[in-house]
Structure 1
Amino acid sequence: MNSSLLMLWGVWDNIYQRCTRLRYIEKGANIFRVVPLRYRGETLVTTDHKRIHNGDLILKIHIHNYYFATLCKGVKDDLKLALLLRRHIMQSLPKLAHYLETLENKEDIKGIVGTTMLHKGVQPLGFSISDVPMNWFFRYKRWYLRLLLRIIHPDGKRRVQAWNHEMPLKRVYMSKETLLARYGSGNQTTGDTN
């Protein structure tokens, strides 16, 4: 990515951060930003058979795209990009679990939910995947994420065109119980990212 473009994006990201309720898990060291809110959508059934209903309190997770773009600078190989993203998600999940454990209202939170086109390979990490309704909001979000991919990926324009039908927007989610069991402080393997 062009250094000037990355710098401008950094300025925009700071403004965006101040204008939203997104919270850093660990600024500059965690790929997730989160916001607690009420879930809106169809009932989600997680891998451990928990249910997240419309109106339930969740942690909405967002990949910190600007931070990831800084990590990807100079990486041109698709496989290396995918492995880099997976590694940082694996490193970030234990800290996300710790963050949830420290919240005063943690008992009320049902799970974590995000929306992404980068959903391949997340199921072994404990996530479930489902389709999203392609209403105006999700159409806009898909357009925005495709724009980010064009910016982040060194061959982004060609990739977006080639993956047009292979990159549906999906909802990824995990129950609080699975997150804490797999990545929480009670799990002795939380530091193992291999």
Structure 2
Amino acid sequence: MNTSLLMLWGYWDEIYQRCTRLTYIEKGNNIFRVVVLRYRGEPLVTTDNCIIHDGDLILKLHIHNYYFATLCKGVKDELRVALLLRRHILQSLPKLATFLDSMENKDQIKGIVGTTMLHKGITPLGFSISDVPMTWFFRYKRWYLRLMLRIVHPNGKRRLQSWNYEMPLKRVYMSKEFLLNRYADGKQPLGESY
């Protein structure tokens, strides 16, 4: 990625972070940013059969795209980018669990929910996946995530052209209990070490 473009993105990211009230889990060392809000949508059934209902309090999960872009700077291989993303998600989940466990209102939070196109291979990490309704908001979000993919991914332009325009934007989610039981205190899933 062009260094000046990355620098401009860094300025924009600071503005975006302040406008959206996103909280860093650990700035510069964690791929997630979060915000507490009420879930809006159809009921979500997690892998441990917890149901997140419309109106439940959730931790909305955001991948810190700018931070990930800085990690990918100079990486040209598509497989290396995918492995880098998976590794950083895996390293970030225990810190996310610790963050959630330390929140004053943790008892009211039902789970973590995010929206992404990068959902392949995350079910073994404990996430459930479902479709999102194609409202104007999710159409805009898909456009924005496509732009991010084009910028961050070493073959972003070609990758986008090879995928169908109706790129699969998905909701990914996990119950609070599952997150804490699996990842609290620095735990990692069996067979997942880097």
Aligned to 1:21: 21
Change (3 A) 1:180 1:52: same
1:32 aligns with 2:32: yes
Aligned to 2:101: 101
* 1:174 Cα offset (Å): 0.2
Q: What is the identity, as a one-letter code, of the residue corresponding to 1:155?
A: N
Q: Find the aligned partners of 1:34 and 1:193 in 2 and give their Cα distance.
A: 25
Are the counterparts in 2 of residues 91 and 193 from structure 1 also a CA contact under 8 Å?
A: no
Q: Find the aligned partners of 1:188 and 1:85 in 2 and give their Cα distance.
A: 19
Aligned to 1:120: 120
Q: What is the identity, as a one-letter code, of the residue corresponding to 2:81?
A: L
Residue-by-residue CA offset, 1:73-102 (whole Å, 9 max, x unaligned): 111111111100000000000000000000
Residue-by-residue CA offset, 1:2-29 (whole Å, 9 max, x unaligned): 0110000001111111222100000000
Q: What is the identity, as a one-letter code, of the residue corresponding to 1:143?
A: W
Aligned to 2:131: 131
Change (3 A) 1:77 1:167: farther
Are the counterparts in 2 of residues 114 and 172 from structure 1 also a CA contact under 8 Å?
A: yes
* 1:154 Cα offset (Å): 2.5
Residue-by-residue CA offset, 1:106-155 (whole Å, 9 max, x unaligned): 01100000000000000000000000001111011000000111111222
For the residue of structure 1 that corresponds to 2:140, the secondary structure is: helix
Q: What is the identity, as a one-letter code, of the residue corresponding to 2:179?
A: L
Change (3 A) 1:104 1:151: same
TM-score, L = length of structure 2: 0.95
For the residue of structure 2 that corresponds to 1:33, the secondary structure is: strand
Q: Find the aligned partners of 2:120 and 2:57 in 1 and give their Cα distance.
A: 26
For the residue of structure 2 that corresponds to 1:184, the secondary structure is: helix
Unaligned runs of 5+ in 1: none
Are the counterparts in 1 of residues 78 and 154 from structure 2 also a CA contact under 8 Å?
A: no
Change (3 A) 1:11 1:44: same
Tell me the number of residue pairs that the alignment of Structure 1 and Structure 2 aligns: 192
* 1:161 Cα offset (Å): 1.0
TM-score, L = length of structure 1: 0.95
Moved over 3 A (4+): 187-190
* 1:188 Cα offset (Å): 4.9
Are the counterparts in 2 of residues 127 and 174 from structure 1 also a CA contact under 8 Å?
A: yes
* C-alpha RMSD of matched pairs (Å): 1.4
Q: Find the aligned partners of 1:143 and 1:165 in 2 and give their Cα distance.
A: 10
Tell me which moved more, 113-122 or 71-80. Answer: 71-80
* 1:167 Cα offset (Å): 3.5
Q: Find the aligned partners of 1:119 and 1:149 in 2 and give their Cα distance.
A: 13
Aligned to 2:79: 79
- Equivalent positions of 1:146-157 (< 5 A) are 146-157=146-157
| % identical aligned pairs | 78
Residue-by-residue CA offset, 1:48-80 (whole Å, 9 max, x unaligned): 000000000000000000000000011111111
For the residue of structure 1 that corresponds to 2:137, the secondary structure is: helix
For the residue of structure 2 that corresponds to 1:114, the secondary structure is: strand
